[in-house]
Amino acid sequence: MRLQPFRRTLLAVVPLIAALAASSPAAAQLGALRRAAERRVEQTAEDRAAAASLIEPTFDATTIEITAERLDRYTAALGKVKAQRAENRAKYDEMEARRSALADSAAMFDNDGARNAFESSTTRYSTCRSDVRRAAEQASERSMQEVMTRMQRDPIGAQNDPKVKEIIGAMQAMALAQQSGDSAATRRAQERVYTVMGVTVADSASLDRAAAPKCGARPAKPASMVRAESFRARADSVDAAARALNSAAGGVKGADVGMTDVQSRMFWERVMSWLGGMRADAAITRTFSRAEYDLLVARRGALRRAFSGGE
């Protein structure tokens, strides 16, 4: 029997329609729903098996019971922490951009030629200044040695030496100052002993003045270096503030959720250990009452969203 043209066309189209239907969005959705249902069945079976391996917890001042009310408070506090971190991160990004701009400005003003010339002249000056300091120390040592030699050569006569009397008086004053415990007075008395004995103890400014005739003035930084260092210091300041801000929003504090800090930390660790998966070799992942376990199972999805990145 010959088929009518229409029937022949229809028979040819049917397999194509079936193939298209199998690949349609509706079919894909049905497949996804089926797979999700299968996963739920598997998860339910796993949950039942895990419930049989629970270890009954002991609640105390550190470990407190996981209840719906405490989970609500904790997840709300975690939400605030995350919001604060996001706000701080935005501020951090702004500060980092400012730090980068300041660093770029420092690099722009940093003149290699001027800096190298300054560093070379500073090295020469420091070497010359060190020579002046050593010469002064050697002269002081010779002066002190001369006094000591006179005292050893003629102890009796030295007692009448005005210079020796001055040294003895200064040393007695230093001893009294040390006995009094007054550090400022002791420092002044010690400086007086050095002075009368001819020992030169020069501070930096005094040494610069003593070195000037031989070494000239201390080299001044070129303007380019001053500006570059100013920008660099500002960049470092912004960077320190940005890093402090970035770490400002810590985890949930006990006071935020009606717990002590230790209880809050343990609460977090218990929930996270369960979310990470119960294991036979890790007791903390299985130490829950049946009421706690059922509550965690019921809220699994919400807890994963709330606790991810919360601490």
Spell out the per-residue pLDDT of the chain, length 311, in tens: 444 544 554 455 445 445 544 555 555 555 555 555 445 544 566 777 788 889 999 999 999 999 999 999 999 998 888 888 888 788 888 888 888 888 888 888 888 888 898 889 999 989 998 888 888 778 777 777 777 777 777 777 766 777 777 777 877 888 888 888 888 888 887 777 777 766 655 577 878 888 888 898 888 888 888 888 888 888 888 888 877 776 666 678 899 899 999 999 999 999 999 999 999 899 999 999 999 999 999 999 999 988 886 55
In the numeric block, which tokens belong to residue 66? 């996981």
- Region of 146 (left: φ > 0; alpha: ψ -120 to 50; beta: rest) is alpha
**CA nearest neighbour of 306 among 89, 78, 87, 81:** 78
In the numeric block, which tokens belong to residue 2? 């010959």
Which sign, positive or negative, has the C-alpha torsion 251, 254, 259, 265?
A: positive
279: β partners: 282
Res 250: pLDDT: 66
Contacts of 200 (CB under 8 A, 6+ apart): 136, 137, 139, 140, 194
As a whole number of angstroms, the distance between CA 18 and CA 11 comes to 12
- Asked if 32 and 254 touch (Cβ cutoff 8 Å), the reply is no
pTM of the entire predicted model: 0.44
**CA nearest neighbour of 192 among 174, 175, 178:** 174
